[in-house]
Amino acid sequence: MNQEPSAPTRVLVVDDSVQALSVLLGLLRGAGFVVSVAADGAAALTAAQGDRPDVVLLDLELPHLEPKAKFPEGFAVLAALKSDARTAGASVIVVSGSSAESDIVRALDLGAIDYVTKPYAPAILLARIGAALRSRREMDAIWRLGEDLRVAQEELGRVRRSAAIGDIAAGLAHEINNPAAYVVTDLHEMRELADELLDAGDEHHGEALAALAEEALAGMNRIRDAVRDLSVFSAVVDRRSIPSAAAIDLAAIARRRAERFGAGLSLRGADEPALVAPALGGEDELDALLGLLVRHAASGAEQLPDVRIDLERSEHEVTVRIDASASAGEPPAEFALALAIARELAERFGGTVEQTACGCVLRLPAATARG
């Protein structure tokens, strides 16, 4: 594979001597550098901000912009270059007729990478420029490695966190599933007993028992939904996120979730598709995410509340607002796992979950946001 040629090195020469500028122009251009020049501090700063040079060759004895300045003007230019984010990355080599130790120390303290005294040998100056460029490339490489390491550490932390939550979720699902199955069986038998009482003419006890069985079965169905959502998350962690290939209609998922929840959940804005960008998850994960957030929103209520889901669309984002009318504020501590799992799932879709006073807000990238 052919590599693109690297951009030519840009050098800014700052000197008020026409002769010095002429010599350096010939030397640097002959070595293949792109060269710009400035004869005073103000012009140097303007050129550096516009051209973004890789190297600045800076004379100290420039015309003073401020009268009665204590130090040579070149020091002020050097300090200004290093304090400006636009120019701080340039490697500054001071080229000066002064060999005073105090000037050399001050220049290096202000951020110069090297100090060359006049008169200089052209080959040595070019070698100093080459060394400065190598040093800059090495520092850039170290910085990039540091950034790569930071990103890798964040991803490792996320994976470990997801794995830990996934293990807890899988364990809870297993612990709940078995006894829940027995309870559901008993409730069906209770409903059959209610039918027998009704057939025997005991309407009072038969109807009361039937209503109790139906209410308990509805509650168990919600528990089964919760277990299913926990199982979905642990499965996602186990398979290390298989990306979805197509956009997902969150509105359709919300409608199905509302049907399972029952009369206590109302929808607004779900009549039209709300397409979420394909990501590290699919419809099952998004359905589980919505279920977790609905239960989290309702968890602060003493009795089953009315829950409302509002879907909003913009060019780049789908927003889901979930509010519970009877919410009593902070959900109990035992619901912290549901919120943690919801946030992990939201991250897989490139989204976020924000807790509010009466529920939560889910934000996901719209399909159009990723083309």
Give tens-digit pLDDT for 169-179: 666 666 776 77
Residues 191 and 214: beta-carbon distance below 8 Å: yes
pLDDT given at position 36: 92
Rounded Cα–Cα distance for residues 65 and 80 (Å): 13
Q: Same domain for 255 and 346? A: yes
Q: How far, CA to CA in Å, does 279 sit from each of 47, 98, 302?
A: 45, 62, 36
Cβ contacts of residue 266 below 8 Å, gap of 6+? 258, 306, 307, 308, 309
Q: What percent of the chain is modeled with pLDDT above 70?
A: 74
pLDDT tens-digit map of 86-141: 999 899 999 998 999 999 999 999 999 999 999 899 999 999 999 988 888 888 88
Q: Pick from 259, 276, 269: which is nearest to 322 by CA?
A: 269
Position 348 pLDDT exceeds 90: no
Residues 41 and 15: beta-carbon distance below 8 Å: no
In a domain, 5, yes or no: no
Q: Is the peptide bond before 332 cis (omega within 30 degrees of 0)?
A: no
Is the model's pTM score more than 0.75? no
Q: Same domain for 228 and 115? A: no
Q: Is 61 helix (H, G, I), strand (E, B) or coil?
A: coil
- What's the CATH code of the domain at 112? 3.40.50.2300
pLDDT tens-digit map of 31-87: 999 999 998 888 999 999 998 999 999 998 887 655 555 546 889 999 999 999 899
pLDDT given at position 290: 86
Q: How far, CA to CA in Å, does 12 sit from each of 34, 94, 126?
A: 9, 12, 14
How many domains does the chain fold into? 3
Q: Pick from 317, 254, 318: which is nearest to 290 by CA?
A: 254
Q: Pick from 200, 177, 201, 197: which is nearest to 189 by CA?
A: 197
Mean pLDDT for all residues in the chain = 79
In a domain, 149, yes or no: no
Rounded Cα–Cα distance for residues 113 and 82 (Å): 11
Q: How far, CA to CA in Å, does 289 sit from each of 46, 223, 230, 283, 305?
A: 53, 15, 10, 10, 19
Q: Same domain for 311 and 332? A: yes
Instruction: For residue 180, give the H/E element and its range.
Output: helix 122-199
In a domain, 4, yes or no: no
149-158, 202-211, 259-268, 349-358: which range is least confident on average?
Answer: 149-158
Q: Same domain for 95 and 17? A: yes
Binning pLDDT at 50, 70 and 90, where does residue 330 land? low
Q: Same domain for 85 and 33? A: yes
Which tokens go with 238?
A: 């186990």
Give residue 236's domain range. Answer: 157-240
